[in-house]
C-alpha cells in the first residue's frame, strides 16, 4: 500500500516556526559585560574627562567599541559617541544634575548584545535658583570680550559673582577683574586677542560662581566666532565732484583683510538707499546738485570668516550739499498777498483822511441860519429870565398874594372871639 505524500504546511504555521527559531537564536545571543571603573575628573574650569576600564572576557572576534552618552536632569542629550577610546572629554553642567553613562558593543556582530549601561553622577552644589542666569557675551572688534548676566532669583542682594575664563592656549584659568553692576545687571570685560593669521579660534570656557558654597556655579562654552562685533567706522569723509559723491571711512586694523563688508546708508530726505561695499570707500553717481544728502556707515563680519550676526553701530551721520527749503516759497506765497492787502487798506484809509484835510466839506447855509437863529432865541429867553425888571415885578405880585392870604386869615378868626 502506498504511503500518501505529506501535506504542505500552512503559511501561518511557517511563520510560527520562523519566530520560534528567531527567539531561540536571540535567547542564545551573548550579552557583553559592561565597562568598569567609570570615573571623571576636571581638566579645566568647565571641562570633564571621564574614563573607564574595558570589560573582561571579550572574545577576540568582537570588534569592541564603546557607546557613551550624557543625561541632563533625566533627559538624554542625544549626543552619543562610538569609539575604541576609553575616555571622553565633555563640557560640564555645574548647575544641573548630570549623569555620564557608557556601555560595550560588538560592532557588526549579531551574536552578541550590548552590555548594560554603567553610570556615574555629577550632582550640583549650592541652593537652587542662585546660579547666574541670562549669560551673554560679545567679542568687540577682536580685542576684548564683554559678558553680562543677571543674578539668580534666589540669590541674595549682596551676592558677589566672579567670572573665570579659559581657552586652549592658557596654562591656567584667569579671573576677570573689570566688573560693573547697573540695575542688577552684572558685566565683566576681559582682553581677548589672537594673531590675525589664526583661522581656527578655540572655544572659550566661562565659569561664574561666588566664594560662598550656597551660590550654585554655572558653566558655559562660547564659540568666539559667533560673538564678533566690529567697531564703529570712524573718520567718515564726504567729497563732491560734479554729479558724484565720494564717501570714505577708516577700516578696522584688528580684522584680517577681506573679512568685513560695509553697509552705506544714504538719502536726501525723500528716500533712503543702502549700498554694500567690500572696501572702506564708495562712489555714488547721479547726485542732484540742488539736494542735501546724508550718509552713515556700519561694518559687518563676512560669513566666510566669522559666523556672527552682530554688526557695528552706525557711524556719525554726515551731510553734504544744500537743499532748497520749499517752506520758504510757501511762506512767501502766503505772505506777499497778505502784505499787499493790508497795505491797500491802510493806504485807502490814509487817502480818505488826506482828502478831508485838503478838500473839507462845504457847510449847508440852512444849517448855519438854523444855528444862528436858534442861538438868538435861546439867548433872548435866557436874558428875559434874568432881567431885573421882571424880577421886581414878580416880587410885587408875590407880596400882594401874601397880603391877601393874611387878610383872609384875620377875618376868619374874629367870629370865634365874638362867640366867646
Q: What is the pLDDT of residue 158?
A: 87
Distances (CA, A) of 65 to 36, 52, 110: 14, 12, 14
For the chain, how many helices (H) and strands (E)?
Answer: 4, 26
Q: Which of 270, 306, 274, 276 is nearest to 288 (CA)?
A: 270
Rounded (5°) CA angle 65-71-72: 155
Q: Are 38 and 50 in contact (CB under 8 A)?
A: yes
Q: What is the pLDDT of residue 161?
A: 93
How far apart CA 333 and CA 337 sit, in angstroms, is 7
How far apart CA 408 and CA 410 sit, in angstroms, is 6
Q: Which residues partner with 165 through β-bridges?
A: 174, 206
How far apart CA 18 and CA 229 sit, in angstroms, is 65
How far apart CA 132 and CA 217 sit, in angstroms, is 8
Q: Are 303 and 320 in contact (CB under 8 A)?
A: no
Give, for 260, the enclosing helix (H) or strand (E): strand 260-267
Instruction: Count the alpha carbons within 13 Å of 366 in the hemisphere toward its beta carbon.
Output: 0
Residue keyed to cell 542564545 = 28
Beta strands 133-140 and 228-229 are parallel
Q: What is the pLDDT of residue 397?
A: 54
Q: What is the pLDDT of residue 339?
A: 85
How far apart CA 406 and CA 281 sit, in angstroms, is 134
Q: Are 246 and 283 in contact (CB under 8 A)?
A: yes
Rounded (5°) CA angle 181-228-224: 85
How far apart CA 94 and CA 300 sit, in angstroms, is 35
State the Rg of the chain over Cα. 57
Written as tens digits, the pLDDT of the chain (420 aa) is 333 333 343 333 333 333 333 433 344 568 888 999 999 999 889 899 999 999 888 877 888 899 999 998 888 877 788 888 999 998 888 888 899 999 999 887 777 889 999 999 988 899 999 999 999 999 999 999 999 999 999 999 889 999 999 998 898 999 999 999 998 899 999 999 988 777 789 999 999 999 888 999 999 999 999 999 999 999 999 998 888 899 999 988 899 888 999 999 988 877 788 889 999 999 988 888 778 889 999 999 999 999 999 999 999 999 987 765 556 656 767 888 888 888 888 877 777 666 666 666 677 677 766 776 665 555 555 544 444 545 445 555 555 555 444 444 444 444 444 443
Q: What is the pLDDT of residue 163?
A: 96
Give the ranges where 257-319 is alpha helix by DSSP (H). Answer: none
Q: Are 267 and 293 in contact (CB under 8 A)?
A: yes
How far apart CA 238 and CA 284 sit, in angstroms, is 11
Distance, first Cα to last Cα, the chain: 209
Q: Which three cell numbers stand for residue 158?
A: 549682596
CB atoms within 10 A of CB 277: 16
Q: What is the pLDDT of residue 323?
A: 60
Q: Which residues contact 351 (CB under 8 A, 6 or more apart)?
A: none
Amino acid at each position: 500500500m502506498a504511503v500518501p505524500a505529506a501535506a504542505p504546511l500552512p503559511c501561518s504555521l511557517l511563520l510560527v516556526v520562523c519566530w520560534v527559531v528567531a527567539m531561540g537564536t536571540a535567547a542564545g545571543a551573548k550579552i557583553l559585560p559592561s565597562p568598569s571603573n567609570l570615573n571623571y575628573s576636571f581638566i579645566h574650569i568647565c571641562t570633564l574627562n571621564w574614563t573607564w576600564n574595558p570589560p573582561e572576557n571579550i572574545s577576540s572576534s568582537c570588534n569592541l567599541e564603546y557607546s557613551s552618552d550624557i543625561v541632563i536632569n533625566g533627559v538624554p542629550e542625544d549626543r552619543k559617541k562610538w569609539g575604541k577610546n576609553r575616555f571622553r572629554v565633555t563640557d560640564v553642567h555645574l548647575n544641573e544634575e548630570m549623569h555620564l553613562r557608557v556601555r560595550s558593543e560588538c560592532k557588526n556582530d549579531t551574536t552578541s548584545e550590548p552590555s548594560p549601561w554603567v553610570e556615574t553622577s555629577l550632582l550640583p552644589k549650592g541652593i537652587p535658583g542662585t546660579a547666574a542666569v541670562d549669560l551673554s557675551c560679545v567679542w568687540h572688534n577682536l580685542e576684548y570680550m564683554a559678558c553680562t548676566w543677571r543674578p539668580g532669583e534666589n540669590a541674595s542682594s549682596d551676592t558677589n559673582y566672579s567670572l573665570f575664563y579659559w581657552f586652549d592656549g592658557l596654562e591656567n584659568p584667569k579671573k576677570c577683574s573689570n566688573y560693573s553692576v547697573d540695575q542688577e545687571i552684572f558685566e565683566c570685560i576681559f582682553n581677548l586677542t589672537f594673531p590675525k593669521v589664526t583661522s581656527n579660534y578655540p572655544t572659550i570656557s566661562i565659569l561664574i560662581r561666588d566664594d560662598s558654597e550656597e551660590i550654585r556655579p554655572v558653566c558655559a562654552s562660547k564659540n568666539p566666532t559667533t560673538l564678533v562685533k566690529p567697531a564703529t567706522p570712524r573718520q567718515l569723509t564726504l567729497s563732491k565732484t560734479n554729479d558724484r559723491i565720494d564717501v570714505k571711512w577708516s577700516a578696522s586694523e584688528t580684522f584680517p583683510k577681506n573679512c568685513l563688508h560695509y553697509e552705506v546708508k544714504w538719502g536726501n530726505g525723500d528716500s533712503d538707499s543702502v549700498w554694500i561695499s567690500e572696501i572702506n570707500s564708495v562712489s555714488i553717481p547721479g547726485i542732484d546738485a540742488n539736494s542735501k544728502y546724508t550718509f552713515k556707515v556700519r561694518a559687518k563680519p563676512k560669513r566666510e570668516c566669522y559666523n556672527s550676526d552682530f554688526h557695528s553701530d552706525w557711524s556719525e551721520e554726515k551731510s553734504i550739499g544744500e537743499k532748497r527749503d520749499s517752506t520758504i516759497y510757501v511762506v512767501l506765497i502766503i505772505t506777499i498777498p497778505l502784505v499787499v492787502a493790508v497795505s491797500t487798506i491802510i493806504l485807502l484809509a490814509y487817502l480818505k483822511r488826506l482828502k478831508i484835510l485838503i478838500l473839507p466839506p462845504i457847510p449847508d447855509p440852512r444849517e448855519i441860519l438854523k444855528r444862528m437863529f436858534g442861538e438868538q432865541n435861546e439867548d433872548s429867553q435866557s436874558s428875559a429870565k434874568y432881567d431885573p425888571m421882571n424880577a421886581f415885578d414878580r416880587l410885587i405880585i408875590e407880596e400882594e398874594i401874601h397880603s391877601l392870604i393874611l387878610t383872609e386869615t384875620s377875618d376868619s378868626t374874629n367870629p370865634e372871639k365874638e362867640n366867646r
